[in-house]
């Protein structure tokens, strides 16, 4: 609590009224009756005698991984649940996104503030919350697993199983010449550039480059597989 500007007295029987600079509720009182306190000065922050919080407007603070921060926008709808009340869903929205990242457990995260639409009596400062931020939504679109899309310098690609292999007996067509072992994967898959749209943690939308029914590889077939150590 900041200094009130009230002169400090050495008379233990004299009372001093200190007014908080804001309306709220005292949530912590680190000192007890009779303890000595010091005032703030140029080289001393003074003794904190109480912490006051405005509980009329509660915020949820979440750390979002830098990989996902691009999907978060101001005003995005959010569903908040509390560990104390797991069955209660609190509607909310993103109210602030930090302009810079911070390091948490060797991972860069951005602090995001989430404002609750309604302030219930169940809410208490310091509670553990879980947030589900709703991103853009697309219905009836073509989507593939995120692990099937690979990033290249000139864009994103997928590896499509060749039609002759998919429609035949499961064996690649006989090559006309002995292929380079490094190029053997091309008998089974075709590298194809795609345009992607919105994505979730599991799926990514394909705007162009694929048609429904085509099969894609979940691993990069152009990279040689590591041989397992044989004991």
Lowest mean pLDDT among 5-9, 122-126, 161-165: 5-9
User: Of residues 67 and 90, which shows the higher confidence score?
Assistant: 90
Interacting residues of 191 by C-beta distance below 8 A, sequence separation 6+? 157, 158, 159, 222
Q: Residue 186: what pLDDT?
A: 84
Q: Residue 1: what pLDDT?
A: 47
| pLDDT greater than 70 at residue 168 | no
Q: What is the DSSP letter of 220?
A: -
Kindly compute the dihedral angle of the four CA atoms of residues 144, 145, 147, 149, in this order, to the nearest 10 degrees. Answer: 10
Lowest mean pLDDT among 95-99, 121-125, 188-192: 121-125
Q: Residue 18: what pLDDT?
A: 79
pLDDT digits (tens, 9 = 90+) for 125-138: 889 999 999 877 88
Please give the CATH topology (third level) of the domain spanning 59-133.
Elongation Factor Tu (Ef-tu); domain 3 (2.40.30)
Which string of b and e fits 134-157 if b means at least 16 CB within 10 Å?
Answer: eeeeeeeebbbeeebbbeeeeeeb
Q: How confident is the model at residue 63 (pLDDT cuts 50, 70, 90)?
A: very high
| pLDDT greater than 80 at residue 96 | yes
Q: Residue 147: what pLDDT?
A: 94
- The full set of domain ranges for the chain reads 59-133, 143-208
Q: How confident is the model at residue 47 (pLDDT cuts 50, 70, 90)?
A: confident
17-20 own/partner pairs: CB under 8 Å, 24+ apart: 18/49, 20/50, 20/52
| pLDDT greater than 90 at residue 54 | no
Q: How confident is the model at residue 26 (pLDDT cuts 50, 70, 90)?
A: confident
pLDDT digits (tens, 9 = 90+) for 182-210: 777 888 899 999 999 888 778 999 999 99
Q: How confident is the model at residue 67 (pLDDT cuts 50, 70, 90)?
A: confident
């Amino acid at each position: 609590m900041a200094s009130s500007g009230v002169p400090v007295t050495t008379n233990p029987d004299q009372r001093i009224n200190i007014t908080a600079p804001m309306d709220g509720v005292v949530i912590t009182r680190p000192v007890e009756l009779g303890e000595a306190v010091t005032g703030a000065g140029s080289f001393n922050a003074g003794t904190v005698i109480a912490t006051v919080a405005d509980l009329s407007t509660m915020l949820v603070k979440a750390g979002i991984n830098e990989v996902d921060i691009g999907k978060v926008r101001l005003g995005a709808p959010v569903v908040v649940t509390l560990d104390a009340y797991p069955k209660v869903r609190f509607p909310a929205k993103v109210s602030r996104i930090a302009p810079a990242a911070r390091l948490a457990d060797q991972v860069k995260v951005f602090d995001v503030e989430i404002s609750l639409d309604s302030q219930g009596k169940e809410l208490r400062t310091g509670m553990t919350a879980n947030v589900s931020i709703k991103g853009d939504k697309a219905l009836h679109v073509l989507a593939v697993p995120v692990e099937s899309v690979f990033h290249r310098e000139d864009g994103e690609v997928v590896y499509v199983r060749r039609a002759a292999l998919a429609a035949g007996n499961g064996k690649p067509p006989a090559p006309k010449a002995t292929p380079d072992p490094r190029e053997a994967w091309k008998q089974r898959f075709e590298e194809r550039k795609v345009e992607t749209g919105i994505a979730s943690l599991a799926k990514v939308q394909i705007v162009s480059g694929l048609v429904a029914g085509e099969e894609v590889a979940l691993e990069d077939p152009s990279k040689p597989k590591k041989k397992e150590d044989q004991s």
